Amino acid sequence: MPYFEIKEDEFKLPPAYFADIDGLVAVGGSMSTQNLLAAYNAGIYYWHHPLKRIQWWSPDPRTVLYPKSFEIEQLPPQAPVHKHELQFNKNFEGVLRLCQEHNNLKDGMSPQWLSERMFRIFMELHGMGYAQSVEAWEGDALKGGIFGLAIGNIFFGEYLVAANPDMAHELIRALLKRLREKKFQLVDMQKPTVFVPGIEYEEMARINYVNLCKENERNFARQEINTL
C-alpha cells in the first residue's frame, strides 16, 4: 500500500488520518528531540522495526490507559517475595541500557529493539525533563524499569523491562499511582512492548486521540514540565 515519504532535510508529517489500514502514516525523515515531540503531539509515534528507516504510526483505535479510572487495588496481586524498592528517575540511563540488554538482538532488529540513536534521543529528552522512569531496585542493583515521555498531562509509554511478571506489576502500580497523584489524563501505550498481562487496556478512536493530543499541546504550552 502507498505511504508518504518524508525528506531527510524537511521534517513534515502528514495528518494522522492519512494512515493506512495498519496505522502507518509515513516513512523516513530525521530523528531529533524536536521531531519526536512534534510527532507525539500530533498523535503519531515512531518505530523502526522491521526497517532501519524511521516509520511513523497512528493506529485506529489507539490503546490507552486512564490513570483516574484505575483503583490500584484492582491490579493483579504482587508476590511479597518479589517486593522491590521503587524509585523515580534515579538512574534513567541504566533503564535504557537494561532495555537494550534484555531486548536487542545481536543478529538483527526485533519489535523491542532500542537503537543507539534512540538511546541518545531519550537521554537528551530526559535532560530536558520529558523522558522519565520508574525503576525497581534490589539494594544497589537495578533490576527493572519502565520509561516514557511526560508531555503535559499525557504519558507516552515507551519500554518496560522486568525480571518477572510480579516486578512488571509493581512498576505499573507505581507508575499509575504517581500519574493519578499528578493528575495525568492518559497513558498512551503505543505498542505492545509495555503490555502487562492481567491489566485491561482501553481503546480510543484515532480522531479523538489526535484531538486530545492537540489540546494537550495547547495547554502544555502554558505549563511547566509535569515531573513524576
Helix/strand/coil for 192: helix
Predicted local confidence at residue 74, as pLDDT:
53
Predicted local confidence at residue 211, as pLDDT:
97
Cα–Cα distance measured from residue 207 to residue 44, given in angstroms and rounded to the nearest whole number: 12
Predicted local confidence at residue 15, as pLDDT:
95
Query: Which residues of the chain have a pLDDT value below 50?
Result: 78-81
Residue with cell 518496560: 160
pTM: 0.90
Q: Where are the alpha helices (DSSP H) in the chain?
A: 33-41, 92-103, 116-128, 165-181, 206-220
The answer to whether residues 215 and 173 touch, using CB atoms and an 8 Å cutoff, is no
Predicted local confidence at residue 156, as pLDDT:
96
Other CB atoms within 10 A of residue 83 CB: 13
Helix/strand/coil for 182: coil
Predicted local confidence at residue 112, as pLDDT:
75
End-to-end CA distance of the chain: 41
What is the DSSP pairing of strand 141-151 with strand 154-161?
Answer: antiparallel
The contacts of residue 98 (CB under 8 Å, 6+ apart) are: 142, 144, 145, 161
Cell of 225: 514540565
Cell of 85: 524498592
CATH fold for domain 63-203 = Aminopeptidase (3.40.630)
Predicted local confidence at residue 217, as pLDDT:
93
Instruction: List residues bridging with 149 in a β-sheet.
Output: 131, 156
Predicted local confidence at residue 81, as pLDDT:
46
